[in-house]
Amino acid sequence: LTVVLQSSLLAQQESRAPALAVLTASMVNVAGDLLLVGFFRLGATGAAWATVVSEVTAALFLLALLSRNGRLPLRLRVPRSSADFAPFASIFGPLVVFKVAKNVCYAMLQSVAMGMSMVECAAHQSVWVLWTLLAFVPEPLSQAAQALLPSRLAAAEAGGSWP
């Protein structure tokens, strides 16, 4: 839910609210970890509950912000005909193929690594963690750039200054 709400705000050229939601969720998560893991000694269960509470907090924060600003539709529109699905159908196929192919590649990498010796498998895991960090952490920056950069570039080309 938070990813959808953040994407909705980014599509509306709003970047501060998603950043504040992440900051709020992070602070709630750290406080929950300190309390549940450090003070109450709940271990992994406490850390999991802190994460759940932080995610719910972020979702409620974004829902409140969107509904307060009138950007959250009050009613759902149910598609009634195949024409309503046409915009989604044109992109659905390529996205499914891309995601399935990517996950198959990841699964093949992991299955090959599991057939290696213990040292080789450990080395693979170390490199895999580093690759995952470098591949997925910048993704929110990529989404923000895709949402915000085109209008900024168009304004700059039209003779305006860089905002």
Is residue 100 situated within a structural domain? no
Q: Are residue 1 and residue 62 in the same domain, yes or no?
A: yes
Q: Are residue 55 and residue 109 in the same domain, yes or no?
A: no
CA terminus-to-terminus distance, the chain: 30
Domain count for the chain: 2
Is residue 42 situated within a structural domain? yes
Q: Are residue 110 and residue 67 in the same domain, yes or no?
A: no
Q: Are residue 54 and residue 116 in the same domain, yes or no?
A: no
The confidence score (pLDDT) of residue 24 equals 95
Q: Cα(13)–Cα(11) distance, rounded to whole angstroms?
A: 5
- pLDDT < 70 positions in the chain: 73-76, 160-163
Q: Are residue 44 and residue 111 in the same domain, yes or no?
A: no
Q: Cα(74)–Cα(6) distance, rounded to whole angstroms?
A: 18
Is residue 62 situated within a structural domain? yes
SS (H, E, C) 73-99: CCCCCCCCCHHHHHHHHHHHHHHHHHH
Domain that holds residue 24: 1-73
Is residue 86 situated within a structural domain? no
DSSP line for 22-70: HHHHHHHHHHHHIIIIIIS--HHHHHHHHHHHHHHHHHHHHHHHHHHTT
Q: Are residue 24 and residue 67 in the same domain, yes or no?
A: yes
Is residue 53 situated within a structural domain? yes
The confidence score (pLDDT) of residue 125 equals 87
Full-model pTM: 0.59
Is residue 28 situated within a structural domain? yes
The confidence score (pLDDT) of residue 45 equals 95
The DSSP letter of residue 130 is H
| Tokens (6 digits) for 76 | 């759902």
- What digits encode the pLDDT tens for the residues 45-91? 999 999 999 999 999 999 998 888 788 766 667 778 888 888 877 78
**Neighbouring residues of 61: CB distance < 8 A, sequence distance ≥ 6:** 20, 21, 24, 25
